[in-house]
Amino acid sequence: MYYDRITRLLHLLIALGIAGQLAVSLVMIHPKPGRAGDLFYAFHETWGVALLGLLVIHWIWRMVRSEPAPLARFFPWLSPARLGELWADGKNLMRQVRQGGLPHETTPGALACAVQGLGLLAATALGVTGTIFMLYVEPNVRPEGWLHDIKGLHEGLGVAMWAYLGLHAAMGIVHQWVGHGSLVAMFRFWEKAPGQTGSASVALLVAGLLVSGTAWAGTPEDLLAGYRAEGVQAFDAERGRALFAQQGVPGEDGRVTSCVSCHTGDPRQAGKHLKTGKAIEPLAPAVNRERLSDPAKVEKWFLRNCKETLGRPCTVQEKGDFVTWLRSVR
């Protein structure tokens, strides 16, 4: 069977990404109360969000392109007619296996589509649950309630993905071994499938990647525009500086801290985590261009650090004042 070049390219990137995520999960150090995660864990979080972006692009691509099979065929579970096709395709596969071979299809069969659909759903669910966990779980705090359930679901899906990836790769190797050539064809994404023009497909993918990249990238002004939309007062850099130096509430160890405790009194300088000793890059965008460039990360760290230091979430006003002050630091 033949898939278009864009599908094959996305398949390659997602396959490599998932395999890398599973491999990193074996060696990374998970954060626990009193212990921060390591660099492998940080990479796992960041690449997980990027991989979710690729999966979203893949979903969109499957929706706009109906060849070699429409998207509905990958999810036959609520259609009696498609379930009938799936059952018939399964019986045909077993008959071919008993005869010592495998069906050689020029278009994806019902069973192959259903299996691929399950893998796509599992991978997307992994990306969504991992991103939720990254955004809402506080550092040095054991997740409870629905966040604990999200963590369990993410870990269970990880085990399922190990099994899926192994079986999926094994079947690709078997098909290649019996002479179908499907495994090699799937990874030769630079070759056009028969009848594929390619130019419109490439343009669509490039546009999707640009839109996706724009969605993840941001500036301090973008953050402030979002905060202003919530109807707060004018932002004040001096209030932001005062918040940075403000003493918080006693932590679990009885120690009172502030932002300065980890970031030093100069946001242009590198800091160090008070508990773990882990190095922290400078806060000021003037010396660290990555700061305030990812709205999701900014909100994540506001949520964690405000609760850890002040004992409560920061208000939109406080966030805007803080970002305004950081922007002014030169």
Which domains, ranges and CATH numbers included, belong to the chain? 5-216 (1.20.950), 220-328 (1.10.760.10)
Q: Which of the 8 DSSP states describes residue 280? A: E
pLDDT-derived band at 121, boundaries 50, 70, 90: very high
127 phi-psi bin (left φ>0, alpha ψ -120 to 50, beta other): alpha
Q: Would you call the peptide bond into 68 cis, given omega within 30 degrees of 0 as the criterion?
A: yes
Amino acid making up residue 206: V
Q: For 221-233, how does the pLDDT look when each residue is reduced to its tens digit (9 = 90+)?
A: 777 888 887 777 8
Q: Which residue has the tokens 């409560």?
A: 312
- 110-136 and 5-25 helices, crossing angle to 10°: 50
Q: What is the mean pLDDT of residues 300-322?
A: 87
pLDDT-derived band at 277, boundaries 50, 70, 90: confident
Q: For 161-186, how does the pLDDT look when each residue is reduced to its tens digit (9 = 90+)?
A: 999 988 887 877 776 676 666 666 66
Please, what is the average pLDDT of the chain? Answer: 80
1 and 105 Cβ atoms separated by less than 8 Å: yes
User: Per-residue pLDDT for 266 more than 50?
Assistant: yes
- 39-64 and 5-25 helices, crossing angle to 10°: 160
> What length does the chain have?
330
Per-residue model confidence (pLDDT) at position 106: 58
User: Per-residue pLDDT for 330 more than 50?
Assistant: yes
List 126's β-bridge partners, or say none: none
Per-residue model confidence (pLDDT) at position 1: 52
Contacts of residue 202, defined as CB under 8 A and 6 or more positions apart, other chains included, come to 5, 6
pTM for this prediction: 0.59
Whole-Å CA distances, 276 to 39, 96, 262, 271: 13, 59, 10, 12
Please report how many Cα atoms fall inside a 13 Å half-sphere around the Cα of residue 129, on the Cβ side: 19
Q: For 197-249, how does the pLDDT look when each residue is reduced to its tens digit (9 = 90+)?
A: 444 444 455 545 444 444 444 677 777 888 887 777 889 999 999 999 998 88
| DSSP H stretches of helix in the chain | 5-25, 39-64, 80-98, 110-136, 146-177, 182-187, 199-216, 220-228, 237-245, 259-263, 295-310, 316-328
Q: Which residue has the tokens 């230091």?
A: 309
Q: Which residue has the tokens 């019986």?
A: 91
Per-residue model confidence (pLDDT) at position 211: 47
Q: Which of the 8 DSSP states describes residue 233? A: P
Per-residue model confidence (pLDDT) at position 11: 85
235 and 38 Cβ atoms separated by less than 8 Å: no
